[in-house]
Amino acid sequence: MTNNLKAFLTMISKSEGTDYGPENGYNILFGSTPSKPKYFNSYTDHPRVFTPFGKSGKKSSAAGRYQILARIYDYYKTMLKLPDFSPTSQDKIAIQIIKECKAMPLIEAGNLAGAIKACSHIWASFEGAGYAGQRENSIDTLTEFYVSAGGNVLA
C-alpha cells in the first residue's frame, strides 16, 4: 500500500470522525463521539446497529473506520470473499470502493481534490456529498487530514 493510499484511508477516518479509540476506529459505531464513544465488540460480522439521525428519523448502520453500511458490507463480503468485518476486511472494502470510484490513479498522482470529488457520493463527510443531516468537511480540512497523514498533493 502506497503512502498516498494510506493517507487517503486515514483522511476518510478523520473526516468520518472515527480516528480515535483503542482500535484505531475499526470498532466504532455511527453516532459515536470521542466524549461519548460507541463501540462494537466483535469483528465476526458487521454489527448491524441502526442508529437514528437528524430530524427525519432515518437510521444508519454505518460502522467501523470507514463507516461502512451493513448492506454495503454484505455486498463486498461476497464479492471480495471476506471472512469477517475485521480491520483487514474494512480496509479491503474501502480500497475496492476507491477503485470503483476511479479514484486510485488520482490518489497516486497526488490529485487529492479529484479523488475527493470522485468519492464524495460515498463518504457523507466529504465536501460536496450532499447527504441531508450530515456534516461535510471542506477540501481544505480534508487536505490537512491527508497531508498530516503523510500524503502528497501534487496536482
Gap between the Cα atoms of 68 and 83, Å rounded: 16
CA distances from 77 to 18, 28, 136 (A): 21, 19, 28
CA 89 to chain centre: 13
CA distances from 85 to 17, 65, 68, 82, 133 (A): 19, 11, 10, 8, 27
> What are the grid coordinates assigned to 40, written together?
462494537
Residue 16 annotated in active site: yes
Gap between the Cα atoms of 138 and 34, Å rounded: 21
Residues involved in catalysis: 16
